[in-house]
Structure 1
């Protein structure tokens, strides 16, 4: 949908529009309160618009809004738009309803457009129909932006006939109108209907082609996606990324590398998503060719002075680690100025994978010292490192830290690492106690690990209990009995059939 522009706020408040932090926004708010400008609808609306522009300050914007005596349409629209684009679009609809009951304001075409976008996000066709009624009542049902929003809302909600009728009845249609219905078909996997609309479109843009390529890739129809891709007169980096993802998902790594070469030859600058996808493919190619391709891409990044973001650094660290190039992984990690938690997790995983458990723990403490908060994945990485390197004391400490300091509820992977670690040291009773805490459906791998420990330590009695547990979990799998038989054999006993 084309951008919608609001009237410019008074020059007096241009600084609030540039406010980038909560602290600065609070200062702007305090200034308006002190000068009384908070009662000026345009000033207050400008502050709310500026504050609502960031998801981190959206709740603060809403708080300002609730204290306004007479919010104007601009204030309402700013919040409705912000919530429509947020993870909680239902709040956008609630604000729209509040606006309808506010006798001092009237919704306009922007209000309806944003509210309908929220309906599309939460797939509430029933509410969307009611908003459609208000659109007609206010006489703006011929507005192209509103019509496009209505078409998208109905199509995404599965009301294809209504959406198509709206498209056919529009006095003025544009490519966005066609894309609105095309997007609805694609989002619901109706690629046959999407293809009919695509073929019927009087004009197409890059988004039209991208929608079709994405839809086919999502359905695993990479050949069909490639035909649309090759037929696109104009492509953007999104077009290439979707095609790269399609081939990567199918394991057709040669095609991924060819596409990347074509991008370079045609002067299409890849973005972080492209490079991460291609590096992930390098990590999945066995043999020296994968490493060679990954090193070439690393050189391309350096040559073109592409900023090494955490997202991209993670892919490089992961790639080097999987090929056993820990020194290169560490060098990349150390040179990355803006690491994110996934970068740290990847480095800890790589160190643990190759037996550098103590280094993995040191890296974990560096993470804490740098002000990062570890997540579930961090503790999977560090507990796995402890398990692989046999660091029992450190493993205990990390598990306790996770549960009691960071309040993270253990998942199957955490229990699996601890059971494996305890099993290595023959602490089978403790391992069994932990295994019992894993939810029934997800516990198979944990009990299999414990059974392996029973075999290693010749504990026939526990092995029988664990085998019965595995039989309960997976009745048709005889693997547990095979391992139990191995336990008996190692102790000079024989397993009698039932």
Structure 2
């Protein structure tokens, strides 16, 4: 029961069971203590952990047990008591690499890389995990050159080592080096995982390296790499979308569905945005309908905005308006109507622009831009009486148009001009 609670969302209950165990005069053993200490770590229960440590100190067998002592180091380090963690480490009759890694990982997790470096240099032995902690720690702090130096010194690298340095270069925007490292990784016969491939695909997208990106897609498909984490898929789709690879983003989205990974709201924002910027009308509308009817996801302003933009880019303004009029599609959002209004004006469809502007004013009567745009539409049609009516409505509702402003420097003095006024210094 202690083990179950220690690994649950209510680790405090492990301490309750442990107290009952002591009250029943049942002695805890080398299997009990690690789980109790782990439970203390889980909720940062320093006081409770110190009390358990006191019990450990009373038992010679527990004082000499490597596993028990290692969990104590982890507990103190997780709670931020690094001196106490070091004291436990220093008093241990024998230590292994796990003992050192417990302290090292805690410093890395806290971003205390100077302290981590001291521990790393002091370590009696290191394994690949020790090296990986240092590489990822420096990389996450943005110290990519130091991360690379440590990486190059690793005797035997694993996929985690490569991922740490690759993601580090991706984070600082050095996408060329990401691809260089990826190619080196393959030459070393290290099989990339989904985490590697996300960073590489992002690099390909940022560099416009379409052929290499396509190779990565084929690699994923050929090797049957299963990406279960939806956030990983979202990163791939989003990275391609942002960098203008709309068709490739849709391709990754379809593979996501083939692999039976359920997309979420973010997935659809990313792929609909990709369709919009790439002009993939049929694909975008199909995906939008799939989102609503198959995955039962209620469209948000972001989803609708992508679809409105998609339709507007190809001049399907009436269809965009119908989308906005849908009962459940965020039709009361002034932001979406404003987007449609801008598209109507750009395409010169003043009749529809007038209807949209009037709708916009109903939604947000205090927005001066709506009045100005409607006034301009009427003016372009020569309907001066309607222009005057719009201005009267503005005045009656207390809506004011911000005056235009210009500035000019004369003899070292900056003067500000407001529309309809002289200048003031």
Quickly name the TM-score band, shorter chain normalised. 0.7 to 0.9
The CA deviation at 1:121 is 3.7
- Is the contact between residue 467 and residue 481 of structure 1 (CA under 8 Å) also seen in structure 2? no
Residues 1:494 and 2:419 are matched in the alignment: yes
Residues 1:365 and 2:297 are matched in the alignment: no
Corresponding residue for residue 346 of structure 2: none
Taking the TM superposition and a 5 Å limit, the aligned residue runs for 1:44-59 are none
The CA deviation at 1:99 is 3.1
- Is the contact between residue 282 and residue 319 of structure 1 (CA under 8 Å) also seen in structure 2? no
Taking the TM superposition and a 5 Å limit, the aligned residue runs for 1:97-176 are 97-102=16-21, 103-104=23-24, 106-137=27-58, 140-176=62-98
From 113, 120, 125, give the equivalent of 1:191: 113
Corresponding residue for residue 157 of structure 2: 235
Query: What SS is found at the alignment partner of 1:109?
Result: coil
The CA deviation at 1:294 is 1.3
The CA deviation at 1:330 is 3.7
CA distance in 1, matches of 2:94, 2:334: 61
Alpha carbons of 1:465 and 1:402: their partners in 2 closer, same or farther (altered >3 Å)?
closer
Taking the TM superposition and a 5 Å limit, the aligned residue runs for 1:59-458 are 75-77=1-3, 79-83=4-8, 88=9, 91-102=10-21, 103-104=23-24, 106-137=27-58, 140-285=62-207, 289-307=208-226, 314-315=234-235, 317-318=237-238, 320-322=240-242, 324-336=244-256, 337=258, 338-342=260-264, 343-356=267-280, 359-370=283-294, 372-374=295-297, 379-388=300-309, 389-390=311-312, 391-397=320-326, 400=328, 416-417=335-336, 420-421=339-340, 425-426=356-357, 427-432=359-364, 456-457=373-374, 458=376
**RMSD, aligned CA:** 3.7
Query: What SS is found at the alignment partner of 1:149?
Result: helix
The CA deviation at 1:138 is 5.4
Query: What SS is found at the alignment partner of 2:209?
Result: helix
- Is the contact between residue 348 and residue 381 of structure 1 (CA under 8 Å) also seen in structure 2? no
CA distance in 1, matches of 2:197, 2:115: 33
Deviations 1:348-381 (A, max 9, x none): 23223344567534323323444x3537xx6354
Structure ID, larger Rg: 2
Alpha carbons of 1:340 and 1:177: their partners in 2 closer, same or farther (altered >3 Å)?
same
Instruction: Give the unaligned 5+ runs of structure 1.
Output: 1-74, 404-409, 437-449, 469-479, 484-492
Q: TM-score, normalised by structure 2?
A: 0.73
Deviations 1:25-62 (A, max 9, x none): xxxxxxxxxxxxxxxxxxxxxxxxxxxxxxxxxxxxxx
CA distance in 1, matches of 2:363, 2:216: 44
The CA deviation at 1:387 is 3.3
Deviations 1:47-95 (A, max 9, x none): xxxxxxxxxxxxxxxxxxxxxxxxxxxx332x12421xxxx3xx11223
Query: What SS is found at the alignment partner of 1:301?
Result: helix
CA distance in 2, matches of 1:137, 1:232: 41
The CA deviation at 1:114 is 2.6
The CA deviation at 1:280 is 1.4
Q: TM-score, normalised by structure 1?
A: 0.63
Corresponding residue for residue 71 of structure 1: none
Corresponding residue for residue 29 of structure 1: none
